[in-house]
Structure 1
């Protein structure tokens, strides 16, 4: 039961935040793209930003700006 609740909590948290962006505006700009291209990617270690960057040409223009601003370069 404890594991099921933990999984449910984690799933809820991942569904409601992008976890890559620092501001609410950045999260909002990439939320749909995250759900579409990177839903199974767990946050941490730059995994989400890398996933989004791998789909750069498919992202919305707003999310492309966020990814470029958060990608070391």
Structure 2
């Protein structure tokens, strides 16, 4: 079986590491060494997908917050 089959444990670990990497990046508090370590162990496609989803959630959350504040 090829090592990069979708759904393998390393694929899932890479995706979870990508979520962690993007979350730290959004907060801006990740150390440079930790960032380099994580970056060497993640799939770039996962990082892009998680980044886009995170940005979308952030924008929708901010729009919802503004609508709620303006309505009250």
Considering fraction of residues, name the structure with more helix.
2
TM class, shorter-chain normalised?
Answer: 0.3 to 0.5
The higher-RCO structure (CA 8 Å, 6+ apart) is 2
Q: TM-score, normalised by structure 1?
A: 0.35
